[in-house]
């Protein structure tokens, strides 16, 4: 009835689509997990250095480690994976801004810029390799997932969760809590998709022979 005799190219497309379905399912369960956490932590769920912020940090660190692992075992893509890992390191340090504001008051978390800048310089120095790696990565599903991360974390979490917008719509009552709830919840989902993107990149780019 159904002819499933697929070419290698169509098999690759089929399994890529299947993985995206599993990633979508994983995101749904992740959000349900946040809901479950909130049932225990109540109004402390999205506090600074609270449970969700710690989960965000774990997601960013794990993503960076997977990208670094990619850079080590797939050296034909080393430059692009080091660059991607550096962004994860930057974001993880940025998430600890309160800690660094207290313990490193002048520089604070801003030293984190060292990592993406160093990775960018390294990529430029090896631009003949980086150029091809960029095109390969853009053509991959992992890139589309990364774009989704940027959309979720910046225009949605930061802009829609901006204090003035929340205040204009909902008034003065509990603006800070509402802002934290929206931003931190959406950022957590974005960082989870980033982790899935790092896993996808590990899956689709073969190890060097």
**What does the pLDDT read at residue 62?**
96
**What does the pLDDT read at residue 12?**
79
**How many structural domains compose the chain?**
1
Please give the residue range of the domain that contains residue 47: 19-204
First CA to last CA distance, the chain? 40
**What does the pLDDT read at residue 207?**
60
In a domain, 7, yes or no: no
E strand spans, 70-191: none
In a domain, 36, yes or no: yes
In a domain, 8, yes or no: no
**What does the pLDDT read at residue 149?**
93
In a domain, 119, yes or no: yes
**What does the pLDDT read at residue 4?**
59
The sign of the CA dihedral 7, 8, 11, 16 is negative
Sequence-distant (6+) residues with CB within 8 A of 146 are 84, 194, 197
> Of 92, 17, 104, 25, which Cα lies nearest the Cα of 62?
92
In a domain, 2, yes or no: no
> Phi/psi at 86 (nearest 5 deg)?
-65, -35
Rounded to two decimals, the pTM is 0.89
In a domain, 108, yes or no: yes
> Of 198, 183, 88, which Cα lies nearest the Cα of 143?
198
What is the mean pLDDT for each group of 10 consecutive residues in the chain (209 residues)? 65 86 96 93 83 93 95 90 95 88 86 95 93 92 92 85 76 74 90 95 74
In a domain, 95, yes or no: yes
In a domain, 6, yes or no: no
**What does the pLDDT read at residue 107?**
86
């Amino acid at each position: 009835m159904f002819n499933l005799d697929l070419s290698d190219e169509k098999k690759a497309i089929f399994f890529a689509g299947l993985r995206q379905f599993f990633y979508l399912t994983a995101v749904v369960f992740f959000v349900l997990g946040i809901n479950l956490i909130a049932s225990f932590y109540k109004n402390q769920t999205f506090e600074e250095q609270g449970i969700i912020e710690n989960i965000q940090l774990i997601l960013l660190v794990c993503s960076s480690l997977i990208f670094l692992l990619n850079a080590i075992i797939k050296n034909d893509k080393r430059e692009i994976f080091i660059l991607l890992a550096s962004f994860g390191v930057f974001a993880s340090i940025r998430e600890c801004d309160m800690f660094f504001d207290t313990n490193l008051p002048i520089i604070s978390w801003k030293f984190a810029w060292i990592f993406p800048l160093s990775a960018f310089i390294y990529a430029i120095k090896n631009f003949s390799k980086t150029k091809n790696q960029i095109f390969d990565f853009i053509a991959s599903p992992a890139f589309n997932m990364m774009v989704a991360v940027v959309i979720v974390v910046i225009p949605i979490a930061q802009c829609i969760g901006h204090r003035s917008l929340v205040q204009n719509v909902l008034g003065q009552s509990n603006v800070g809590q509402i802002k934290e709830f929206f931003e931190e919840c959406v950022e957590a989902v974005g960082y989870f998709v980033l982790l899935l993107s790092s896993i996808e990149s590990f899956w689709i780019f073969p190890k060097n022979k």
